[in-house]
Structure 1
Amino acid sequence: MSSTPTAGETSIAEATPVSLCSREPHVPADRLVAEMVPPPRFDSVRFATYLPDPDQPSQTEAVQVLETFAAGLGGAHAVGGGKRGFFGFGRAKAPKAAPGPRGVYLDGGYGVGKTHLLASLWHATPAEPALKAFGTFVELTNLVGALGFQQTVKTLSGHRLLCIDEFELDDPGDTVLVSTLLGKLVDAGVALAATSNTLPGKLGEGRFAAADFLREIQGLSAHFRPLRIDGEDYRHRGLPEAPAPFSDEQVTKAAYATEGASLDDFPHLLEHLSRVHPSRYGALTDGVRAVCLTDVRPVPDQSTALRLVVLADRLYDREVPVLASGLPFDRLFSEEMLKGGYRKKYFRAISRLTALARDAKGLTEAP
Structure 2
Amino acid sequence: MPPDRLTDRRPEVPASRLVADMVPPPRFRDVSFDGYRADPAVPSQAAAVTAARSFAAGIDDGVSMRRRGWFRSRAPEPAAGSGIYLDGGFGVGKTHLLASLWHAAPVPPERKLFCTFVELTNLAGALGFGAAVTALSGHRLVCIDEFELDDPGDTVLVSTLLSRLSEQGVRLAATSNTLPGQLGEGRFAAADFLREIQRLAGRFTVVRVDGDDYRHRGLPSAPSPIPDAVVTESAAGDGVTLDDFAALVAHLATVHPSRYGPLLDGVRRVHLRDVHTVDDQSAALRLVVLADRLYDRDVPVVAGGVPLDRLFTPELLAGGYRKKYVRAVSRLTALSRDGAASLESR
Query: Within 5 A, what are the aligned runs for 1:350-361?
Result: 350-361=329-340
Residues 138/81 of structure 1: CA separation in 2 closer, same or farther (3 Å cut): farther
8 Å CA contact 1:137–1:164 kept in 2: the answer is yes
Q: CA deviation at 1:75?
A: 4.5
Give 1:127's aligned residue. 107
Give 2:291's aligned residue. 312
Structure 2 residue 46 is the aligned partner of structure 1 residue 66: no
Give 1:262's aligned residue. 241
Q: CA deviation at 1:340?
A: 0.5
> Gaps (5+ residues) in structure 2?
none
Post-superposition Cα deviations, 1:201-245, rounded to whole Å, max 9, x if no partner, equal 000000000000000000000000001110000001133442100
Residue of structure 2 aligned with 1:272, choices 251, 257, 261: 251
Question: Number of paired residues?
Answer: 342
The percentage of aligned residue pairs carrying the same residue is: 63
Query: Within 5 A, what are the aligned runs for 1:84-123?
Result: 96-123=76-103
Give 1:37's aligned residue. 23
Residues 223/81 of structure 1: CA separation in 2 closer, same or farther (3 Å cut): farther
Give 1:201's aligned residue. 181
Query: Within 5 A, what are the aligned runs for 1:1-367?
Result: 13=1, 16-77=2-63, 96-256=76-236, 258-365=237-344, 367=346
Residues 77/305 of structure 1: CA separation in 2 closer, same or farther (3 Å cut): farther
Post-superposition Cα deviations, 1:239-278, rounded to whole Å, max 9, x if no partner, equal 344210010111011102x432000000010000000000
8 Å CA contact 2:75–2:167 kept in 1: the answer is no
Q: CA deviation at 1:102?
A: 1.8
Give 1:7's aligned residue. none
Separation in 2 of the partners of 1:64 and 1:366? 39
Residues 203/80 of structure 1: CA separation in 2 closer, same or farther (3 Å cut): farther
Separation in 1 of the partners of 2:225 and 2:253? 25
8 Å CA contact 1:105–1:193 kept in 2: the answer is yes
Separation in 2 of the partners of 1:207 and 1:34? 32
> Gaps (5+ residues) in structure 1?
1-12, 84-93
Equivalent residue letter for 1:65: A
Residues 80/259 of structure 1: CA separation in 2 closer, same or farther (3 Å cut): same
Q: TM-score, normalised by structure 2?
A: 0.96
8 Å CA contact 2:276–2:306 kept in 1: the answer is yes
- Structure 1 residue runs of 4+, over 6 Å off? 80-83
Residues 237/189 of structure 1: CA separation in 2 closer, same or farther (3 Å cut): same
Report which stretch shifted further, 234-243 or 342-351: 234-243
Residues 98/327 of structure 1: CA separation in 2 closer, same or farther (3 Å cut): closer
Q: TM-score, normalised by structure 1?
A: 0.90
8 Å CA contact 1:161–1:191 kept in 2: the answer is yes
8 Å CA contact 1:250–1:364 kept in 2: the answer is no
Give the SS at the match of 1:245: coil
Equivalent residue letter for 1:151: A
Post-superposition Cα deviations, 1:40-68, rounded to whole Å, max 9, x if no partner, equal 00001000000000011100001101111
Separation in 2 of the partners of 1:39 and 1:230? 24
Equivalent residue letter for 2:145: D
Q: CA deviation at 1:77?
A: 4.6
Separation in 2 of the partners of 1:66 and 1:178? 22
Equivalent residue letter for 1:322: V
Give the SS at the match of 1:133: strand
Equivalent residue letter for 2:80: G
Separation in 1 of the partners of 2:217 and 2:66? 43
Q: CA deviation at 1:96?
A: 1.5
Residues 157/77 of structure 1: CA separation in 2 closer, same or farther (3 Å cut): farther
Bigger-Rg structure (1/2): 1
Equivalent residue letter for 1:242: A
What is the CA RMSD across the aligned residues, in angstroms? Answer: 1.7
8 Å CA contact 2:78–2:166 kept in 1: the answer is no
Separation in 1 of the partners of 2:169 and 2:276? 47
Give the SS at the match of 1:303: helix
